[in-house]
Chains A and B, each alone.
Chain A
């Protein structure tokens, strides 16, 4: 039962989880902010893509070019106006604020878009597949995985090859010293959340074409994203990808044994990694 097919599908599923998790990983890595509204922000981005596709008659991939900058602005403003005010030594206020944000987003979307199940249409691409010999693999899941790798590569480049990345790392390590060097943490944080929202929009594109979404499905996806971040090690982007793949493969292998074990297997893999390496596979920062 557990053949190459199961493993390949699991790896591709891991790509989706890694996309969900990348934005979370970025924000957590830089400002130690646990964003409980991350799943709902993905759903918000999916609705934004839906509005752009229906209003302008664009395909979902082109719509990304319109929706992503808009989400950047939303993220930047959210961080600047709301989240920066609650960041501090106490980790509880940001948790509470993002939890509240999650409730507000769900109900605002319900009010605005009703409870109808919606979907982003990608035409024939939705059901297209390629035969890899050992398994038939959907084109969309392949694109999802490729996008996850591309997003991680781009973030990695941003972090380690640019001035902004240096500022990110400096602020992450020690905001006080960084601000002595002329880096403004408040503005760095806002930019980081904005970039996280770009990633969120890409995740929303693949979530919205893969399955239906409605205003309430955000939180269900959050837990896998968290697990991917934790397994990978806080602050490590490649670790997040590895974490997503581990959970994805664990789920498909578990399901191949019995569908009742699908979700459980993912959680067991998560606990197993924590038992062996409590700080995750590739922890970057020491904290």
Chain B
């Protein structure tokens, strides 16, 4: 499809319209406020991801004012609903005329917003969604890799399933197990992606010498896991993995203890992301393991405020009275990206200039280095995806109650310090 911008772009490249190069001159935009749209799930089931929004935007506005950046952040709530996310992205572009969109938290939020922005030709930076569901999920035909096309305006940073596989198997390798893994994959977007026999966890685990037993997709909010427990017992699984929502994980964990299933490791995504969910498990939460995207101990500092991870986490706890969670670092990093990109763009009101600045990014952010240089990525995703470090951690119960997330494996990102080694479940 030939759009006005693509025509201008290619014309400029071939020198046809060099004489009218003044069209996109930065002088036109001097003194205009740069408008940043931000979409996140502030209400609904995904609301936990967005709890640092107000805190982060306050900090961003404060720093922007100090540095003389003329910016305005317009916040929209996706209500944890993909359709609503697409609607508010339209509103941001058409009614608010934003120059840059930031979006975070799960493919249900990032994908509809990125798709709308890509179609409208507005630059968008997204994070907190594994890159496969982000990139492949937005393709016209996800089943046919030949047809996959890179995006022009949509840029993403996070990790991918290959990193999860590496982190999980590295953690399990620290234990003495029979390398038999039981999988809990629900019938939802994540469960189907992770549980896919061809592109999910199974082939990666097999390559690392682990056998995955997948009894099949179950429905979210299931009240009984007897079938899975029996299947894992029959397969003699020492390890249990999956991507489970918190209520179901509690049901599973209780029932498995009641019915005498005692694996050496339970490594699940989603269910034990937030400390509040782990606390609901009590003693049964001790030594559960998971992938870790960010902790206050990650050796990075904010390019925006100069805070270390520790500083940011304690500032958040002080401001809100709530414990730190992993999304806090990533929401902060999104606004680091916004500030950095705007500073490096002559005319932030020109989408193509903004895209150029995004592609040239090399930011040492609070979640690690962000640069779209295609490092460690397949060629088709190299243009639009950047990977941030992923390590493995275990929740340890404290003496006075409460849980600590301890990094136990850093082979995938050696600059993130470990605070212990993998311990088997009691």
Contact = CB atoms under 8 A, between A and B. Distances in A.
Contacts of A251: 223-224
A127 B259 contact: no
Contacts of B216: 258-260
A216 B45 contact: yes
Given A118-B280, A259-B217, A127 B45 contact: no
Contacts of A140: 254, 258
A217 interface: yes
A83 B102 CA distance: 46
Q: What size tier do the contact residues of chain B reach? A: 35 or more
Interface stretch (B131-139, B157-165, B244-252): B244-252
A284 interface: no
Interface in B218-264: 218-219, 221-224, 226-228, 230, 246-248, 250-251, 254-255, 257-260
Interface string A253-270: 001101110110000000
B361 interface: no
A138 B247 contact: no
B115 interface: no
Nearest to A114: B47
B251 A117 contact: no
Interface string A236-280: 000000000000100110011011101100000000000000000
Interface in A201-234: 210-214, 216-217, 220-221
Contact of A136 (B43, B258, B281): B258
Given A129-B259, A259-B217, A262-B222, A116 B247 contact: no
A269 to B, nearest CB: 14
Contacts of A16: 223
A115 interface: yes
Contact of B246 (A5, A117, A121, A263): A117
A5 B282 contact: no
A135 B255 CA distance: 12
The CB with the most chain A CB atoms within 10 A, among B216, B254, B282, is that of B254
Contact of B276 (A9, A10, A117, A213): A117
B287 to A, nearest CB: 15
A285 interface: no
The CB with the most chain A CB atoms within 10 A, among B45, B224, B282, is that of B224
A121 to B, nearest CB: 6
Contacts of A121: 280, 282
Contacts of A258: 215-216
A213 B250 CA distance: 10
A260 B247 contact: no
Contacts, number: 124
Nearest to A261: B216
Nearest to A210: B251
Nearest to A9: B226
Nearest to B260: A136
A127 B254 contact: yes
Given A259-B228, A262-B219, A213 B259 contact: no
Contact of A211 (B223, B257, B259, B284): B223
A19 to B, nearest CB: 12
Contact of B259 (A1, A17, A138): A138
A116 B215 contact: no
Given A126-B282, A210-B251, A211-B247, A116 B48 contact: yes
Given A137-B258, A255-B218, A6 B230 contact: yes
10 contacts: A110-B43, A115-B44, A115-B48, A117-B277, A119-B250, A129-B260, A137-B258, A212-B250, A214-B45, A214-B247
Interface of B: 43-45, 47-48, 187, 215-219, 221-224, 226-228, 230, 246-248, 250-251, 254-255, 257-260, 274, 276-277, 280-282, 284
Given A126-B254, A258-B215, 11 more contacts: A13-B223, A110-B47, A116-B277, A126-B282, A126-B284, A140-B258, A220-B221, A248-B224, A255-B224, A259-B227, A260-B217
